[in-house]
Each structure stands twice: as structure tokens, then as C-alpha cells.
Amino acid sequence: MHYGDATRLELLHAAGAGQAKLAVVTLASVEKSLEIVRLLQRHFPQLRILVRVRGRLEAYELLDAGVEDVFRETLDASLEMAVAGMRHLGVPGHTAVRAVRQFRRHDELALRRMAALRHDRAAYLSEARQSVKVLEEVLRSDAVRDERDDGWSPEK
């Protein structure tokens, strides 16, 4: 285990970044995360970099920097809460989980499309509107399919 400032190249070398396959960045500061990501990309191109960010805007910045594996903590917490809320309202477990999975898949694709458009307000808003329409259609068709599903529903 190594402790110190991960923006220092000598620390990354001492920690074995040259032989590593994976780097995980979980800082609260997106600026500091970007600084570390750029250093890793420049000096350790073999590394697969996973980065945790707070939300969508920070994710855009990391995607712009070429990071493929961006994890949004606000999304995960919100989706967990959505499942719990649906369950408390009497929605069967498999229905709630399936709806959240559908939403996550859709949102991850939309995130990547919208990242490229975020500096063009009109295009960004147009894509956001279209994305919401598509999501509504997907969830509506999934709900119809679920009404005919005799699948599992664990106890609350």
C-alpha cells in the first residue's frame, strides 16, 4: 500500500503503475481526478482507468478525457432508491428491478450521446427531449410485457 499525492509521477511508479493493469480513481474533486487521469494516460497507457464521479456533468468531463469507465454515484443511489420506492408502493420486485435496469441502460447510452453535444445547447436539449421520449416508450412496452409475466417476486 502506498500513500501520497497520486499526481506525483514518482509515487505512481513506486506504487507499481508501470506493471498494473487497472487504476481506480475515486476522488471528490473532478479537477484532481482529471489531473490524475491525464497523468496515467500519458505515462501508463496500458492501464484501464475506472473513475467514480458525483454526477452527470463530471461524467461528461471524464468522457471527454477519454475515460470509458465512469461511475456516477448519484445515479446508483437514485436507482437503489427507485427500486425501494416502487417496492414500498407494491410494485413486484422483478418489475422494479427490470425498470431500473432498463433505465440504466438507456441513461448510459444517452450520457455518451449527450456528452458530445453538451456545448451546443440546442442540440443538447433536442437530444434530451428525444431521449426522454424513447425511455417512456421502452418503459411503457416493458410494463405491458410485465403484466403477462408470472416471474418471481421476493418478499419485501
Give the separation between CA 145 and CA 85, rounded to whole angstroms: 21
In whole angstroms, what is the distance from residue 10 CA to residue 29 CA?
21
Residue 103 CA to residue 58 CA, distance in Å, equals 20
| pLDDT tens digits for range 5-17 | 999 999 999 999 9
Q: Rounded to two decimals, what is the model's pTM?
A: 0.81
Per-residue pLDDT, 78 = 95
Range 136-149 average pLDDT: 69
Cα–Cα dist 19/46, whole Å? 9
In tens, the pLDDT along 81-110 reads 999 999 999 999 999 999 999 999 999 999
Contact (CB, 8 A) for 33 and 53: yes
Query: Mean pLDDT, to the nearest integer, of 137-155?
Result: 62
